[in-house]
Amino acid sequence: MKIFDLIALSARNLSRRKGRTALTVIGVAVGTCLIIVMISFGIAMNQANEAMLASWGDLTQIQVYGNGTVYYSGSGGSVAVGSAAVGGDDQPAVLNDEMIATFTKMDHVVAATPFYQAYSLNGTITAGRGDRYSSSLGNAVGVYASAMEPMGFTLASGDWMTDTGSYGRDVIPVMVCEQTGYNFEDTRKSYNSSKRYRWYGQTDAAGNLLEPFVDVNKEDMTLTLSNGDAENPKTKSWKLKVVGSINPDTAKGWWTQSSFILRIQDVKMLQEEYKDLAGSNASPYGTDTTSYDQVYVKVDDMDNVEEVDQAIQDLGFSTYSMTQQREAMQKQVSQLMLILGCLAAFSLLVAALNIINTMTMAIYERTREIGIMKVLGCALGKIRLMFLIESGFIGLIGGVTGSVVSLLISFVLNNLTLIMAVLGGSGGGGGISDMMSMMGYYGTGSAVSVVPPWLVLLALAFATLIGLVAGILPAARATKISALEAIRHE
């Protein structure tokens, strides 16, 4: 008997017992549907958590702070914790250009850049006729120009700065942000006057948005350092050349909204110039050109952040990333999915018992048929395979039915508000919406249930496997029936 004959015979046998087969299929369908829906809740919760964390910060970015306590060997590369390693050239680990180069050579690291805020430099950025408009240097930050694009920043206009390019004598290239112009204040107005300042989103009496005092993409700007000595003032100035503008990305940092972005070598130059101008009055804090307080490290994938984070910590630095929050959330979701999955698996176990019962009853009803097949020379393996095909069919049909129902349930849950509105309800979802909020669906735009194709295929395979496994015992029982006794059976 060929395999196609066995499949056709198995299908006819199932169709002869439509009622019993349908009830058994429903049991498998319910179990399959429960598994898909429960796992889809967990997938949706994970996606909602990822979206929420992404809004808080870049999931692939690590912030490194320069307070290392590990000593590394400059020649051998050995690392010792808490005390200097043996050897005369051992030095404490510090955040400098050499260490950043070490970070960039790590596996999965895309780019790294120092981050310097120019709070310690006494100076201003001015624009307008007679330098009427002024902005503090505290709004300026320094980074590696070559790292900006690999770090994931995007251009709004213009070009990227280059680390090696020359932009002219006494000219400093700079990049600006969407709201950088609002840093300027009108120095001809009193400090107590509201007309001295403008901020993003401010409107006039007619409700029209007010533009900043300075269009940083078009107007000339000058950066001036001062020694801060009223009796013997000394200053030095540079023209700023706006090379390009970046799009705001608060996930990478607040400073992407309104800062002046300088190359790190220009910041170091300004630090040295300021120390020359101020002399002994220069603050030692923030004027060190040999190390950095903070470095950003970009990782290729968020699944590799933990590995890179640990490698940097092993070098003796404190770090911060979204990994810890992400792991805690994933742990909670995994625990919930485990509980829901166990409940769904229990329903499939009940369905498997129903399949065993159905197939066992089929054997009693078809004892004479089995005996005739044996007398006609049908191999025991073919008889066993026939019953396995029948039980597998039950699992497959139940899996398909459960998958279709689960997709329908997922659609209803994800569009519950719209469906309630169409049906004339309040549109709020009532208790279901409250339940979903308690389960952790934070954003109103988050999907309640997400059913990826792999989940449907996995559920189909699992349901079919359950059917096959449940049919093993009845199939073995069918092969043990005596041919002569089966023929005499009525």
Q: What is the pLDDT of residues 174-215, one digit of tens each?
A: 999 999 999 999 999 999 998 999 999 999 888 899 999 999
Axis-axis angle for helices 323-365, 18-56 (nearest 10)? 180
- Residue 287: per-residue pLDDT: 60
Q: Same structural domain for residues 342 and 264? A: no
For residue 82, pLDDT beyond 50: no
- Residue 80: per-residue pLDDT: 35
Among residues of the chain, what percentage have pLDDT more than 70? 83
Read off φ and ψ for residue 241, nearest 5 degrees. -110, 115
Q: Same structural domain for residues 189 and 281? A: yes
Q: Same structural domain for residues 385 and 456? A: yes
The count of domains in the chain is 2
- Residue 224: per-residue pLDDT: 95
For residue 487, pLDDT beyond 70: no
- Residue 129: per-residue pLDDT: 92
The last residue of one of the domains, among 266, 288, 321, is 321
For residue 52, pLDDT beyond 80: no
- Residue 341: per-residue pLDDT: 73
Residue 252 is inside which H or E element, if any? Answer: none
- Residue 483: per-residue pLDDT: 64
Q: Same structural domain for residues 284 and 411? A: no
Termini Cα distance of the chain: 25
Locate 147 and state its tokens.
């790292």
For residue 445, pLDDT beyond 60: no
Residue 4 is inside which H or E element, if any? Answer: helix 3-16
- Residue 448: per-residue pLDDT: 84
Full-prediction pTM beyond 0.75?
no
Mean pLDDT of 152-162: 93
- Residue 178: strand, helix, or coil: coil
Mean pLDDT of 386-414: 89
Question: Which domain does 130 fall in, by range?
Answer: 61-321
Q: Same structural domain for residues 350 and 227? A: no
Mean pLDDT of 307-321: 90
Locate 261 and state its tokens.
């972005």
Mean pLDDT of 71-92: 40
For residue 78, pLDDT beyond 50: no
Q: Same structural domain for residues 460 and 473? A: yes
Q: pLDDT of 409-442, one tens digit each? A: 999 988 887 887 777 655 444 454 454 444 444 4
Among residues of the chain, what percentage have pLDDT more than 90? 35
For residue 324, pLDDT beyond 70: no
**In this predicted model, which residue has the larger pLDDT, 166 or 54?**
166
Q: Same structural domain for residues 8 and 103? A: no
In terms of Cα–Cα distance, which of 156, 157, 143, 129 is closest to 221? 129
Q: Same structural domain for residues 355 and 303? A: no
Q: Same structural domain for residues 260 and 303? A: yes
Q: Same structural domain for residues 114 and 263? A: yes
The last residue of one of the domains, among 281, 302, 321, is 321
Q: Same structural domain for residues 31 and 114? A: no
Q: Same structural domain for residues 287 and 228? A: yes
DSSP 41-84: HHHHHHHHHHHHHHHHS-TTEEEEES---EEEETTT--EEESSP
Mean pLDDT of 270-291: 75
